[in-house]
């Protein structure tokens, strides 16, 4: 049976976008789900169909019709998961390199969602049939922490924390090049690349706001290890921002280039070749538990190959230093 919500906008909401207005209401819907309902013609303003960016006026009559959830057609699969934390409301997963988060063209099996459906049997439906429980994503070749919601209330409350930018997200990234500045902020909007539709790129006119903070952790010859803090969560944000600065993520063949490694030691060459993904790892994730109201923070160690690459870089740095002081 459909759920029907009837709302009336007030004077303080005059000029507000319809999707933003609905996202703030207590109707257990994320902004993404609201936008899908609007596109499907299930949201009306004064009995007329409108778009998500429709600006409200005082006294507008808004009706939202939410259809019952449909059974997911995605198959559960017994894929091992590195579960960092789990309770009745959510899970925190340490995702491995190479795992796609949700089914899409070319990847209908072997995804995190396939594994989660086997482990949990039921998940929040707000993400839609293809993305049950998925509050946020990591790229296929990015490792590290992400949180999964088991029920709609948890999903909605976590999504609100994302919208308010109160989620703590820290990454470790190895970039090509020796960064001179100790720290910095990249505040450049991101949009679709004009030529390559699968890529994102800084676009100050049509892009969406994107803020990335970085701080140098270690410097090596030709490389820099960074701690990166996300203030927004755009698709490929870190990868696009770092490539824009001319410091692409090591192993990122979409925004960077294949490394010329012949000038490095045999050990370092081997470790660079041994990377199974890009040297980008979601190391820290912190949020307020939607039901308990307490702050929780989780940490995930670097993948072994990433750690071994750093050790090889440190050994090479040490050997170069010894030569210089002979």
Q: Strand pairing of 211-220 and 183-187?
A: antiparallel
Tell me whether residue 139 is one of the annotated catalytic residues. Answer: yes
Q: Strand pairing of 143-149 and 280-288?
A: parallel
**Chain Cα centroid distance, residue 199:** 15
Q: What tokens does 115 get?
A: 């594994």
Of 139, 151, 152, 252, the catalytic one is 139
DSSP per residue, 273-325: HT-SS-SEEEEEEEEE-TTT--EEEEE-PPPHHHHHHHHHHHHHHHHHHHHHT
Q: What tokens does 261 get?
A: 């490694």
Residue 151's contacts (CB-CB under 8 Å, 6 or more residues apart) are 89, 124
Q: What tokens does 169 get?
A: 């997200």
Helix or strand (DSSP H, E) at 242: helix 237-244
Q: How far is CA 205 from CA 40, 189, 190, 202, 209, in A?
A: 28, 8, 9, 9, 10
What distance separates the 2 farthest-apart alpha carbons in the chain? Answer: 83
Gap between the Cα atoms of 107 and 110, Å rounded: 7
Q: What tokens does 128 get?
A: 């839609």
Residue 131's contacts (CB-CB under 8 Å, 6 or more residues apart) are 101, 102, 113
Burial of 52 (0-12, 13-18, 19+ CB in 10 A): middle
Q: What tokens does 124 get?
A: 């929040």
Active-site residue list: 139
């Amino acid at each position: 049976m459909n759920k029907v919500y009837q709302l009336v906008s007030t004077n303080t909401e005059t000029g507000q976008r319809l999707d933003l207005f609905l996202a703030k209401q207590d109707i257990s819907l994320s902004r993404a789900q609201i936008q899908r309902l609007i596109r499907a013609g299930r949201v009306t303003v004064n009995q007329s169909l409108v778009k998500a960016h429709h600006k409200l006026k005082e006294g507008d009559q808004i009706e939202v019709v939410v259809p019952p959830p449909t059974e997911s057609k995605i198959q559960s699969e017994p894929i091992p998961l590195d579960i960092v934390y789990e309770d009745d409301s959510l899970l925190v997963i340490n995702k491995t390199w190479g795992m796609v988060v949700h089914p899409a063209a070319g990847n209908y099996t072997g995804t995190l969602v396939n594994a989660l459906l086997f482990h949990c049997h039921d998940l929040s439906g707000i993400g839609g049939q293809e993305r049950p429980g998925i509050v946020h994503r990591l790229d296929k070749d990015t490792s590290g922490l992400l949180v999964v919601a088991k029920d709609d209330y948890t999903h909605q409350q976590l999504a609100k924390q994302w919208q308010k930018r109160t989620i703590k997200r820290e990454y470790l990234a190895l970039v090509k090049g020796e960064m001179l500045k100790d720290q910095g902020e990249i505040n450049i909007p991101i949009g679709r690349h004009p030529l390559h539709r699968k890529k994102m790129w800084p676009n100050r006119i049509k892009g969406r706001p994107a803020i990335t903070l970085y701080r140098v952790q270690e410097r090596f010859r030709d490389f820099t290890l960074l701690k990166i803090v996300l203030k927004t969560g755009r698709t490929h944000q870190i990868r696009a921002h770092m490539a824009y600065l001319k410091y692409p993520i090591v192993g990122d063949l979409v925004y960077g280039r294949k490394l010329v490694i012949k000038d490095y030691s045999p050990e370092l060459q081997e470790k660079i070749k041994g990377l199974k993904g890009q040297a980008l790892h979601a190391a820290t994730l912190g949020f307020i538990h939607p039901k308990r109201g307490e702050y929780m923070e989780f940490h995930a160690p670097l993948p072994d190959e990433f750690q071994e690459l750093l050790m090889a870089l440190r050994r090479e740095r040490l050997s170069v230093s010894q030569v210089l002081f002979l």
